[in-house]
């Protein structure tokens, strides 16, 4: 992994109001703040990020059900209040098991997230433009990066 990227991502945890806030709560608030301009790809990227930042695998739920609950309900400001009971159960489990924002300070967790957003559901590497888009979405969600000496955002 690029050492500069790792350093930037690790530094993000210190900029939030509370590094103890769960990544799930942060992601939901990010989606709510950007609604309705946020596109479907943002919801997909945030879904992959949440799943990578869980304390344990959700073995009591089907993987597709967890992804659908996040993408279609948790990250949909308009639909969330009307979520069915089974979806609410999944989302409560995800919230309880989501790592805190401070997890961005752990290089292993950052690697897991980047691996998750760079990989398709079938396990193959995503196309280059998809990887770039997913990393850009994550970067925007995490906040502005520091300017480089030449004036470019790094």
Mean pLDDT of the residues in the chain: 85
pLDDT for res 152: 38
pLDDT classification of 2: cutoffs 50, 70, 90:
low
Q: Are 135 and 48 in contact (CB under 8 A)?
A: no
Measuring CA to CA, how many Å separate 66 from each of 58, 99, 111, 132, 151?
Answer: 8, 16, 22, 24, 41
Q: What is the mean pLDDT of residues 21-32?
A: 92
Beta strands in the chain (DSSP E): none
The span from the CA of 21 to the CA of 101, in Å, is 6
The span from the CA of 61 to the CA of 39, in Å, is 26
Encode burial over 69-79: b for 16+ CB neighbours within 10 A, e otherwise: bbbebbbbeee
Measuring CA to CA, how many Å separate 85 from each of 73, 80, 81, 82, 142?
Answer: 12, 11, 11, 9, 31
């Amino acid at each position: 992994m690029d050492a500069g990227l790792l350093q930037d991502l690790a530094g993000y945890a210190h900029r939030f109001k509370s590094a103890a806030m769960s990544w799930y709560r942060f992601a939901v608030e990010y989606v709510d703040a950007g609604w309705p301009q946020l596109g479907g790809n943002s919801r997909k990227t945030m879904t992959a990020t949440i799943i990578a930042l869980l304390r344990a695998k959700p073995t009591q739920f089907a993987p597709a059900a967890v992804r659908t609950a996040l993408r279609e309900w948790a990250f949909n400001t308009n639909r969330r209040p009307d979520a069915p009971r089974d979806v609410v159960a999944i989302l409560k489990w995800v919230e309880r098991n989501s790592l805190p924002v401070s997890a961005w300070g752990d290089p292993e967790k950052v690697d897991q997230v980047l691996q998750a957003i760079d990989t398709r559901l079938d396990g193959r590497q995503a196309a280059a433009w998809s990887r770039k888009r997913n990393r850009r979405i994550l970067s925007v969600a995490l906040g502005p990066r520091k300017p480089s000496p030449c004036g470019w955002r790094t």
